[in-house]
Chains A and B, each alone.
Chain A
Amino acid sequence: DTGVSQDPRHKITKRGQNVTFRCDPISEHNRLYWYRQTLGQGPEFLTYFQNEAQLEKSRLLSDRFSAERPKGSFSTLEIQRTEQGDSAMYLCASSSMGPDEQFFGPGTRLTVL
């Protein structure tokens, strides 16, 4: 399967704990995006990488959130000191420079108790 993959698919954690999610984009895609989606809402943009460079961060991405893409391939999204309001589906997408059609992963559903 050469689609976008995310790990884990589900994460349940207690408030105050740190969590890290991983996204593996389609191999030839140099653009990578993170979104957050809460129940009944559309996705909200969090951040965008072109290769290893993080080019844009949403104001939604507080200082508890950090994303990396160290080698321009997979990316990680870390949330420190999780809060109940962080409970959401975290979606990753990737695209190539040309067509720029974003392909989405299955998402990581985070539940903060």
Chain B
Amino acid sequence: KNEVEQSPQNLTAQEGEFITINCSYSVGISALHWLQQHPGGGIVSLFMLSSGKKKHGRLIATINIQEKHSSLHITASHPRDSAVYICAVKGRGSNYQLIWGAGTKLIIKP
């Protein structure tokens, strides 16, 4: 079993829909990252969380430390949101290494 699990693996939705991507982890962490990668492109950091909730524009990220679970929500989704969304955690006691999820491929159809 991977230490960081994402679901769903693939998600296709219509423009305007509310999107939720989930991340569960099995290790103790000091922080959790949500990142975005467009096809053939580099990685963009969206959020770094250690507790609670963060919001940036149409993106919302939440984390429940007790349940070892985080969600990334996209409101009013748009075709330009189509990308791979990756969850990565920094283990407690780790100086630097991130443990990566496999990513969720999101396609938003117009």
Write the residues of chain A forming the contact surface with B, with a CB cutoff of 8 angstroms. 6, 31, 33, 42-43, 45, 48, 55-56, 89, 91, 93, 95, 99-107, 109
Contact = CB atoms under 8 A, between A and B. Distances in A.
Contacts of B31: 100-101
Given A45-B97, A48-B96, 13 more contacts: A31-B96, A43-B100, A48-B95, A55-B96, A56-B96, A89-B42, A91-B43, A99-B48, A100-B90, A102-B33, A102-B45, A104-B42, A107-B42
B41 A107 contact: yes
A55 B102 CA distance: 26
Interface in B84-110: 86, 90, 95-98, 100-103
Q: Which 8 A-B residue pairs are closest in the complex by CB-CB distance?
A: A106-B42, A104-B43, A42-B100, A101-B48, A107-B42, A48-B96, A104-B42, A103-B45
Interface of B: 31, 33, 35, 40-45, 48, 86, 90, 95-98, 100-103
B4 to A, nearest CB: 9
Nearest to A49: B96
A19 to B, nearest CB: 18
B40 to A, nearest CB: 7
A91 B45 contact: no
Nearest to A45: B97
B52 to A, nearest CB: 16
B27 to A, nearest CB: 15
Contact of B42 (A45, A91, A95): A91
Nearest to B90: A100
Nearest to A6: B42
Contacts of B44: 104
Nearest to A56: B96
Contacts of A48: 95-97
